[in-house]
């Protein structure tokens, strides 16, 4: 039975990226040495790191004046690195869910934080004002737990910082509108273990306090992500994923496929008598589709989970903090898998009506 992987992260990757990584683990670049055993200083792996940066810049059309680095620690470490490097006195944060809440918690250790949020996380706040006296404004573009997404590039008069862990490369981005974009790679790019940061160089070096060496963006920019041993295997897999995106026609082509997948599933959620969506329609994520059973069918939640699992649908259980169901439609997920989920929902509806 084919497995349809809807896990929220670590998540589905292109089969090409997996296969190429497997081969490299056996024999990397014809060296006769496994990728897991190769020196990160070898000319073969240095070339991989350079290719990773080059493909990032090409696929996202990153303008001059930006650096791309690859580090460890996940987006969770970036929650501290951002204020450490950028906050002099005060920053503003748009709180749209659990991950932005965690970023705010870290930022408060470094200065004042102006928090912008709605009454709950079922929608993206609108028509808010960003204070002009802050050092930067931070957003989390995709809310993996609650299923909302910011699908526009804000015009912002202060430096704009974005956590794009779960929707990077899912749509074209005007990088020139951002001072810094970062994200963990384990959704749309690579296995867990590598974190990317796209940094506009001129925002650095403006804080007066000292920054620990490993938490300083300039350290990694100056050493081309080689100050310490990088996460070699995830970086290699990321390059394979980036090559796959290029072969698929680039980010614009990927976005078209992602919209088609999301529309197919949302249309079924809206039609099906058993289910309903949990977020405002205008803010629905195309990466993480969250839904629940209607109140009169709530007793069938566990049953539907088992029903889906028996059909090869894995990873659709909602986050433990909110329950319900969540189907993550990351770039590598095929339309066939979404159709399989829709079919299961239709069959379950027939059983219960």
**Which pairing describes strands 137-140 and 160-163: parallel, antiparallel, or unpaired?**
parallel
Whether 99 is catalytic: yes
DSSP state, residue 313: E
> For the purposes of burial, counting CB atoms within 10 Å of the CB of 28, is it exposed (0-12), middle (13-18) or buried (19 or more)?
buried
- Among 88, 135, 157, 163, the active-site one is 163
Nearest to 223 by CA among 3, 67, 17, 65: 67
Among 167, 187, 244, 283, the active-site one is 187
Contacts of 59 (CB under 8 A, 6+ apart): 169, 242, 245, 246, 250, 251
CB count, 10 Å around CB of 276? 15
Is 163 one of the annotated active-site residues of the chain? yes
DSSP characters for 251-289?
HHHHHHHHHHHHHHHHHHHHH-SSEEE-S-GGGB-SSEE
Query: Which pair of tokens denotes residue 331?
Result: 């770039």
The C-alpha atoms of residue 135 and residue 256 are separated, in whole angstroms, by: 35
Burial of 73 (0-12, 13-18, 19+ CB in 10 A): middle
Residue with tokens 């460890």: 72
Any bridge partners for residue 117, and if so which? 95
Q: What radius of gyration, in Å, describes the C-alpha atoms of the chain?
A: 21
Yes or no: say if 66 and 200 are a contact pair by the CB < 8 Å rule.
yes
DSSP code, position 177 = G
User: Is 40 in contact with 232 (CB distance < 8 Å)?
Assistant: yes
Instruction: Give the Å distances, CA to CA, from 51 to 59, 96, 291, 313, 316.
Output: 12, 34, 39, 35, 34
Active site residues: 99, 163, 187
């Amino acid at each position: 039975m084919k497995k349809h992987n809807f896990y929220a992260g670590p998540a589905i990757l292109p089969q090409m990226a997996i296969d190429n990584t497997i081969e490299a683990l056996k024999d990397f670049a014809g060296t006769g040495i496994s990728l897991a055993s190769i020196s990160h200083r070898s000319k073969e792996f240095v070339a991989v790191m350079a290719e990773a940066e080059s493909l990032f810049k090409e696929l996202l059309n990153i303008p001059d004046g930006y650096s791309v680095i690859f580090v460890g620690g996940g987006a969770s470490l970036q929650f501290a690195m951002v204020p450490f490097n950028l906050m002099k006195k005060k920053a503003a944060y748009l709180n749209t869910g659990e991950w932005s809440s965690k970023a705010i918690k870290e930022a408060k250790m470094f200065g004042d934080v102006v928090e912008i949020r709605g009454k709950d996380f079922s929608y993206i706040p609108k028509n808010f004002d960003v204070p002009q006296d802050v050092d930067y404004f931070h957003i989390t573009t995709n809310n993996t737990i609650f299923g909302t997404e910011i699908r526009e590039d804000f015009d912002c008069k202060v430096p704009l910082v974005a956590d794009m862990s779960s929707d990077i490369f899912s749509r074209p981005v005007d990088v020139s509108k951002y001072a810094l974009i970062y994200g963990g790679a384990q959704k749309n790019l690579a296995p867990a273990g590598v974190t990317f940061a796209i940094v506009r160089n001129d925002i650095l070096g403006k804080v007066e306090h000292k920054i620990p060496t490993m938490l300083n963006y300039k350290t990694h920019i100056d050493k081309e992500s080689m100050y310490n041993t990088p996460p070699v295997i995830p970086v290699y897999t990321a390059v394979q994923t980036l090559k796959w995106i290029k072969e698929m026609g680039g980010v614009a082509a990927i976005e078209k496929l992602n919209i088609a997948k999301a529309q197919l599933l949302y249309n079924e959620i809206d039609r099906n008598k058993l289910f309903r969506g949990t977020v405002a329609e205008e803010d629905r994520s195309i990466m993480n589709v969250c839904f629940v059973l209607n109140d009169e069918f709530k007793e069938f939640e566990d049953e539907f989970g088992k029903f889906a699992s028996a059909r090869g649908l894995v990873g659709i259980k909602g986050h433990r903090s909110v329950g319900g169901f969540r189907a993550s439609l990351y770039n590598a997920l095929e339309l066939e898998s979404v159709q399989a989920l829709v079919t299961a929902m239709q069959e379950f509806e027939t059983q219960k009506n």
